[in-house]
A and B are shown apart, each in its own frame.
Chain A
Amino acid sequence: MRLPVEWIREYVAVGADAEALAERLTMAGLEVEETEASEAGAVLNVKVTPNRGDCLSVIGIARELSALHALPLTSPQAPPSSPDLPPVPVDIETPEDCPRYAARLVRGVRPVESPGWMRRRLLAAGMRPIGAIVDVTNYVMLEMGQPLHAFDFDRLRGGRIVVRRARPGEHLTTLDGVQREPGPEQLLICDAERPVAVAGVMGGVETEIGVRTQTMLLESAHFSRLSVRRSARSLGLHTEASYRFERTVDPEGVVAAADRACALIEQIGAGTPDPGVSDVYPMRHVPSTLSVRPARVSAMLGFRVSDARVAETLRRLGFAVEGPSLMVVVPSWRPDVQREIDLVEEVGRVIGYDEVPERLPAGGTTQGGDSAWGRFADRLRDVLVGVGLQEIVSHSLLAPTRLEDPRTGGQRLPIRSALSAELSGLRRSLLPGLVEAAACNARRGQGPLALFEVGAVFHRGDACYEERPRVAALLSGPTAPTAWQREARQASADFYMAAGLVQHLAQRLGVDEVALEPGDDPRLHPGRRARALLGGQALGWVGELHPGVRDDAGLRERTVAFELDAEALMAASDRRGPCRALSPYQAVSRDLAPRVATDLPFARVRAAVEQALSEVVEWWGLTDLFEGTPLPEGTRSLTLSFRLRAPDRTLSEAEVLEQMGRLREALERSCGATFAA
């Protein structure tokens, strides 16, 4: 809201310059975003918070300055109208929507221009001068905060005003030329027959004043905040009037504003007001009374404020303060002040928060630190950063995409009335964000692309919405693309790297081994995809992106990824038992080289080995895999290495042979393995 300083000075004699006023207002909670120059002198551009509608006017700002500078405040003067001579009948059908409605008549309206001083002030405030009558309504709204509307009285059928909700089938063309069909919730101003304005928002064209208007009806009314907000929103029509009604308009200032407007109209020769006013006030404002304890004020602000200072500060803001216990009557323009704490704020902000000292809270408390999930998420990050992955953070809103698998992600959760198609729902997978980040960086020629993210995914469950944390990573193309050594430069991410990462992560988190079995995720290469299982339960997936999916995303190199349920990982982490004593005895190393069918999954070999292991096997693993000549087609040779050691003795050759024989036999029996002679 823009207001010229000289207009404010008409009501409070502040001497300070515009910059100083701006600073003082800002420090009292009325942020002046900037001061500007205009033909009406310096202009303050004030950003009024939603609770302070009373400050959306010259008088509102002047009142604040009078309190801040301890200067007297004057009010706009006008000869009072007489309620004994109501010029028009006014019916209010829904007083809760319209607690008060006042109307005055101005006869002999002349289509003159408003005077230069008024036009300059309006322009400085950002309003276009139109003609004297409309200008006066705008001027008084800016000055007193009360929106006004001028009707051409001769076009009001039946010469009366009816305030009521819209009826089915009614329509109205508003001043912006749009034909509107108000809903049954909307409050209208009507004449005897039809709607003539949307209450508190905008008038209609049929009763608009113009050059031929002879008699004008001036409306000054109080509409309820909720009613006007409802209308403005459902019509998509936001005006200076609706803006003020949605916040605060002083119900007690209704007639004063009408009188001020009539006085100005008469003063500038635009018409002759009738002395009477129709003032229908079915829901009278009842002032609220609060008690304020100065000790409480001091306790909340953190510094001592005397009783006298509390009383004086509140009085300057227009509160009536009575008695030693400080009973405070809240003025009609301050509905935001509802309890003692609001008065504490009033006192504090007028005195200035610079007086608040600094102190550290004393006393007992809960123990500080990160949450269990926060700590676990940091461990996930540290492990992945430690093996050279870069963390990314992508946002949670996205369009439907092939990069989400509906079978693992559940039903998509759309955003109601989304900003755009690109942001129309919540992510069910972290993969789209990783792919997008990788593709953007690939387009810019940046690598290596080894990325991960920790974040929540969402879906619609059977009866509720699910929000689950996940961890996912993606590696695309060479892992060291800028190396000058060829073998390093050419090493590229592959399935086993992703699988190894998952195993490394599990290992570092103290999670039991994660099992991989062939998967069916359509986003992934049909021959290179796996389901990850933890204790037989689904944990996530690992795989190479399907080349078609990858191409569509703009990634040219082979791309592998995994995505795991972080909550399940957290639940399974750190389950290891106590440390065992180290055996002082020599270990024995032995290899087995079974030859098996190429299409026999290694998982079968693993299962066979694990069945046949005894506790003397300290470690075992696959240490080589060979295919091709001289082996027959369709077979491959594995090297399985075993380290045997007992905690309490040196193993005898017979024990070693017995164990290796059992392993060999198990492989022959359940994997059809053969061994070279």
Chain B
Amino acid sequence: MDELLDLVALAEDEIARAGSTVALGQAEARYLGSRGSLQAQLRSIASLPREERPALGARVNAAKERLTALIAARRAELGRAESDARLRAEAIDVTLPGRPFPSGGLHPLSATARRAKQVLGGLGFEFVDGPELEDYAHNFAALNYPEDHPAFDEQMTFYVDDTRLLRTQTTALQGRVMTGRRPPFRIATLGRCFRYENVDATHHHTFHQVDVFMVDEGISLADLKGTLRQFASAMFGGEVQVRFRPDYFPFVEPGVDYAILWGGRWLELGGAGLIHPSILEGCGIDSERYSGFAFGLGVERIHMVRHGVSDLRLYLENDLRFLRQC
């Protein structure tokens, strides 16, 4: 009898002292295994008198259960400790830099174009694309340019042949759109323009413009001013003030040069005006019933103003240092 008690005490002690799951496994085999001590105790039952056998059997089984539970608990404890130790050993320097993920970006002109398109789309303007390789008729004749006039001197042009040229202004789209539609309509276009100019910080032979126009009954300079203010507020933020100054573009009358109050100063943004009635009539639109406005501005200019860029050349140089800032 005492032998069983001693055995259990010994086993409990050994389980408690087992320092690893391996040592615990050995202890388990020693006491609970098929060749273990408790099994030996059970076998010894055969030598006892019949009436004592059940009592001893019950005690041995109870001891087995008890030790099994102790071992399980101890195993869980040791397992946690060992796993903790293993994870501790797997520690890395979390302060090292992460693996660089390739991070792409939009070109600032695309990002600016996208913003302008969202704003104008919200104001009900539908974007239409026109060709960069235009014809003289759309780029100049349909826009009311007088034959061989000094107005052309401000539109130095790359010609491909006698009638085809690289558009000097996205306004070239107006005739293309207006001959196919009846008012009312609100149209915008955004794209690349070309002028025969030497490149410096404020001039480039290639640049981008957004051009916006609408035709409806009763459109006046007031509608132009209100729309410009809405557009400028959305593009530049806050409540901007718009100022009109007379200017000359053959396709608008009255012609306007518009500026916004930016950083306490008037900043000229582009040209605008009411669409010249001759252009409407040329597109088969009754200029007595309908009138329209048009305005345009440089996409580069928008970005330059918003981000304080002073050199136009940066936009087509593709220096990653510049592109990644935007």
- B-binding residues in A (CB < 8 A): 26-29, 31, 49-52, 225-226, 229-230, 246-247, 299-303, 339, 341-342, 344-345, 348-349, 353-354, 356-361, 363-371, 373-374, 378, 381, 384-397, 413-419, 423, 426, 436-437, 440-441, 444, 446-448, 450-451, 455-456, 458, 465, 467, 479-480, 482-485, 488
Indicate if the CB atoms of A345 and B107 lie closer than 8 Å.
no
Contacts of A359 in B (CB 8 A): 220, 222-223, 225-226
A260 to chain B, nearest CB (A): 26
Indicate if the CB atoms of B100 and A480 lie closer than 8 Å.
yes
Given that A302-B222, A302-B223, A353-B246 are contacting pairs, would A485 and B99 also be in contact in the complex, using a CB cutoff of 8 Å? yes
A125 to chain B, nearest CB (A): 20
The yes or no answer to B148 lying at the interface (CB within 8 A) is yes
Selected contact of A415 from candidates B100, B147, B159, B321, CB within 8 Å: B159
Contacts of A437 in B (CB 8 A): 318
Contacts of A225 in B (CB 8 A): 149
The yes or no answer to B184 lying at the interface (CB within 8 A) is yes
A302 to chain B, nearest CB (A): 3
Indicate if the CB atoms of B110 and A381 lie closer than 8 Å.
yes
Indicate if the CB atoms of B324 and A365 lie closer than 8 Å.
no
Segment with Cβ contacts to A, from B18-26, B43-51, B77-85, B210-218: B210-218
- Tally of contacts, chain A with chain B, CB under 8 A: 260
Contacts of A384 in B (CB 8 A): 104
Contacts of B256 in A (CB 8 A): 353
Indicate if the CB atoms of A50 and B221 lie closer than 8 Å.
no
Contacts of B132 in A (CB 8 A): 396, 456, 458, 467
Give the residue among B100, B219, B246, B253 with the most A Cβ atoms within 10 A.
Answer: B246
B317 to chain A, nearest CB (A): 7
A-B contact pairs, 29 of them (CB 8 A): A31-B247, A49-B247, A300-B221, A300-B254, A339-B277, A348-B246, A353-B245, A353-B246, A353-B256, A357-B226, A361-B186, A361-B219, A361-B223, A363-B217, A368-B126, A371-B128, A373-B129, A374-B127, A385-B104, A389-B104, A390-B107, A392-B318, A395-B204, A396-B206, A397-B158, A447-B320, A456-B192, A467-B131, A480-B99
Selected contact of A358 from candidates B106, B117, B122, B226, CB within 8 Å: B226
The yes or no answer to B264 lying at the interface (CB within 8 A) is no
Contacts of B133 in A (CB 8 A): 413, 426, 458, 465, 467
The yes or no answer to B3 lying at the interface (CB within 8 A) is no
| B111 nearest in chain A by CB position | A391
Selected contact of B120 from candidates A49, A50, A361, A368, CB within 8 Å: A368
Contacts of A29 in B (CB 8 A): 245-248
Tell me the complex Cα distance, A217–B104, Å.
Answer: 74
Selected contact of B320 from candidates A345, A370, A381, A446, CB within 8 Å: A446
Contacts of B34 in A (CB 8 A): none
Given that A361-B216, A440-B317 are contacting pairs, would A369 and B121 also be in contact in the complex, using a CB cutoff of 8 Å? yes
Indicate if the CB atoms of A344 and B104 lie closer than 8 Å.
no
Given that A456-B132, A483-B100 are contacting pairs, would A368 and B225 also be in contact in the complex, using a CB cutoff of 8 Å? no
Indicate if the CB atoms of A369 and B126 lie closer than 8 Å.
yes
Contacts of A419 in B (CB 8 A): 196, 198, 205
Tell me the complex Cα distance, A230–B147, Å.
Answer: 12
B121 to chain A, nearest CB (A): 4
Indicate if the CB atoms of B102 and A370 lie closer than 8 Å.
no
Contacts of A348 in B (CB 8 A): 221, 246, 254
Tell me the complex Cα distance, A437–B315, Å.
Answer: 12
Indicate if the CB atoms of A378 and B253 lie closer than 8 Å.
no
| B122 nearest in chain A by CB position | A368
Indicate if the CB atoms of A366 and B274 lie closer than 8 Å.
no
The yes or no answer to B291 lying at the interface (CB within 8 A) is yes
Contacts of A50 in B (CB 8 A): 149-151, 153-154, 248
B151 to chain A, nearest CB (A): 5
The yes or no answer to B105 lying at the interface (CB within 8 A) is yes
Given that A29-B245, A391-B110 are contacting pairs, would A302 and B221 also be in contact in the complex, using a CB cutoff of 8 Å? yes
